Amino acid sequence: MATKLPRTDAVVVGLGWAGAIIANELVDAGLSVVGVERGPWRDTAKDFNIASVTDELRYAQRQELMLRTAQNTITMRNTPSQTALPMRQWGSFHPGNGTGGAGNHWAGITFRFQPEEFRLRSHLEERYGAGSIPDELSLQDWGTDWNEMEPHYDAFEKLAGTSGRAANLARGRQAGGNPFEGVRSSDYPTPPLKQPYSPTLFADTAREMGYQPFPVPSSLVSETYTNPLGVTMGPCTFCGFCTNYGCANYSKASSITTVLPTLIRKDNFEARTLCEVLRVTTDSDGRRATGIVYVDSAGRQWEQPADIVVIAAFTFENVRLMLTSNIGEAYDPITRRGTTGRNYAYQTANSVQLFFDDKNFNPFIGAGAVGMGIDEFNNDNFDHSGLGFFGGGSTRVTPIGAAPINSRPTPPGTPRWGSQWKRSTVDNYASTMSIGCEASNYASPNNYLSLDPTYRDRLGRPLLRITFDFTDNDLKMAQYVTDKVTEIAKRMNPRQMVAKPRTGPWDGRPYQSSHVVGGFVMGADPSHSSVNKYLQVWDVPNLFVVGASAFPQNPGYNPTGTVGALAFKAADGIVNHYLRRPGEMITT
């Protein structure tokens, strides 16, 4: 039995990007807020000290910062006819744990989605015809638009100190940025990062071919920056221990480097760590959330009543909590009814590896988001007429560092041990680079999230089950964009090239990206969405579920910028609309 605690105005579940942003906005609006976090309190100085952070074994191999699968994991299968089995070690993606969440060990790449994305189905039907979208894709509009999203992107970039070069400013266009971006109300808060050799070589070649390369927008700040909350970050030093690591320099934006240092000092905020939420409680007819029940590290259960409940965990846990709390109707892939678990999507990661004889890339100099990209083959930036697929990808070179347990490129066919292996490892370590194409993944009726019927977590709750495979659409797209990248690679004149378009089936073992989205998506139509454009749950007006779980599909961009923007959007909905008419769905 859970012991009931005194009520609070709002409880926020998860203190990663989304939860910390919303909690801070609600506290500033005068609400008393309790933040509940499954993992530990993390702090740069005690967790990511410069003396110890440069440890590939600990952070990349043993996954120190990631959620322990012993605590919670997922089960996976490619098709509904298979039996899902647990992911016993994180492979394909890396969920985080503790304050900061996956935002501690992310890469820092901070794109805005393009205006067309927020009305993707409408856009494609307008451009290619009403029947142009194949049945295997369940693409949707988001129920919002660029004008509504832009101020929230702007707020997130200013919070994170995002570095980059704008192209499409409201006051006019300028060269050197991403020409395909939506119109921006202001420039990036910090200038672009300096570039190492491999992105520079790529950008020079791309420019010669008529493309328009731009610095990858990065929430690894390029200079000392103080954000609107008064929190100061320091410049990125390109140490190369970035993705999978916490930042010791206060350079990588996360909730622990941009929000929590000020939020925790505010009187009406309290954070509870190592407390895992079991369910959202509702009144008898399920139309009002009454609070949450959580278990602390000693195994005792507590009920925290709240007038407003915000669920802002990682995609997987957002959806699992909704399923275990019976919020909404679970999606059924046969009848295609129900919305909880629907439209789960991923990212389609492709690459071309280039082996040179005459280059030294100093690959250990890097950062998760330093690099140059082009967007000519992304999303709907090129004409898809007659191609047989929709979507595309963000093409870029982003050297993240080259710690050598993982970074040991050798050409295909090289032995994996012995003298030949060693010779090839030495010969190729510094002279190999890769062009990535992080491409869209479009939702499909057969890709969904549900509760596993067999496997349970340590608390006896069902694990979340992923049923997912790449669609024909995405596989065709992968081949197309990889061919385009290969043309650029060829012109760079390497000794050898290895093109790696994503092929099926989805493989849970190698890391691809942590960009898992959907399952509790936003929209204007309650029959195909779980939350409205303010992330407010249909029919449960005081419950907000925030994160990449709200993406109806995934474009060819990294998700965090949009997660941050949606957090500001949800906070705006609560503070400026919901509090004026509590207990009602927001209708503006």
Partner 1 sequence: MSKTRDTAKAGGLTRRQLLGSSAALLVGASGTARALSYTDTPEWQPFSNIAATPVDDDADWQFFTPDEAATVEAIVERLIPADDLSVSGKDAGCAVFIDRQLAGLYGDYERRYMHGPFQAGTPQQGDQSPLTPQQRYRLGLASLDDHCRNTQDALFKDLGGEQRDAILAQLESGDIALDDIDSVAFFEIVLQNTMEGFFADPMYGGNRDMVAWKMVGFPGARYDYRDYIERHNEDLAFEPVSIQGRGDWSTPA
Q: Which of residues 276-305 bind partner 1 (CB under 8 A)?
A: 276, 294, 296-300, 302, 304
Give the separation between CA 582 and CA 291, rounded to whole angstroms: 15
- Shortest approach of partner 1 to residue 561 CB, angstroms? 24
- Shortest approach of partner 1 to residue 311 CB, angstroms? 18
Residue 58 CA neighbour count, 13 Å, CB half: 10
- Shortest approach of partner 1 to residue 125 CB, angstroms? 34
For residue 5, the 8-state DSSP code is P
528-587: which residues touch partner 1 (CB under 8 A)? none
Give the separation between CA 345 and CA 549, rounded to whole angstroms: 9
- Shortest approach of partner 1 to residue 378 CB, angstroms? 26
Report the Cα–Cα distance between both ends of the chain, in Å, rounded. Answer: 40
What string marks each residue from 448 to 487 as x (binds partner 1 by CB under 8 A) or -?
A: ------xxx-x-----------------------------
Label the pairing between strands 33-36 and 8-13: parallel
- CB closer to partner 1, 431 vs 562: 431
Structure tokens at 494: 């390497």
- CB closer to partner 1, 26 vs 565: 26
Taking CB under 8 A as the rule, does residue 204 contact partner 1?
no
42-61: which residues touch partner 1 (CB under 8 A)? 42-43, 45-47, 49-58, 61
Q: Which stretch binds partner 1 (CB under 8 A): 312-320, 438-446, 504-512, 555-563?
A: 504-512
- CB closer to partner 1, 87 vs 566: 87
Size of the site for partner 1 (CB under 8 A): 103
172-201: which residues touch partner 1 (CB under 8 A)? 194-197, 200
Taking CB under 8 A as the rule, does residue 378 contact partner 1?
no
Give the separation between CA 207 and CA 166, rounded to whole angstroms: 17
- CB closer to partner 1, 274 vs 499: 274
- Shortest approach of partner 1 to residue 452 CB, angstroms? 11
Label the pairing between strands 543-545 and 301-311: parallel
Annotated active-site residue in 123, 515, 528, 577 = 515
- Shortest approach of partner 1 to residue 359 CB, angstroms? 6
Give the separation between CA 403 and CA 63, rounded to whole angstroms: 15
Backbone angles phi, psi at 578, to 5 degrees: -60, -45
Structure tokens at 238: 């390109």
Among 101, 371, 508, 541, binds partner 1 (CB under 8 A): 508
Backbone angles phi, psi at 355, to 5 degrees: -105, 125
Exposure string of 467-481, with b = 16+ CB inside 10 Å and e = fewer, is bbbbbebbbbbbbbb
Angle (nearest 5°) at CA 564 between 246 and 163: 65
Residue 384 catalytic? no
Among 27, 139, 149, 239, binds partner 1 (CB under 8 A): 239
313-372: which residues touch partner 1 (CB under 8 A)? 359-362, 364-365, 370
Structure tokens at 453: 């019927």
Give the separation between CA 69 and CA 463, rounded to whole angstroms: 11
Label the pairing between strands 214-215 and 372-374: antiparallel
For residue 198, the surrounding DSSP H or E stretch is: helix 197-208
Among 130, 210, 405, 413, binds partner 1 (CB under 8 A): 405
- Shortest approach of partner 1 to residue 104 CB, angstroms? 12
SS (H, E, C) 123-179: HHHHHHCCCCCCCCCCCCECCCCHHHHHHHHHHHHHHHCCECCCCEECCEECCCCCC
Q: Which stretch binds partner 1 (CB under 8 A): 212-220, 324-332, 335-343, 502-510?
A: 502-510
414-433: which residues touch partner 1 (CB under 8 A)? 416-419, 422-423, 425-426, 429-430
Taking CB under 8 A as the rule, does residue 77 contact partner 1?
yes
- Shortest approach of partner 1 to residue 328 CB, angstroms? 27
Q: Tell me the catalytic residues.
A: 515
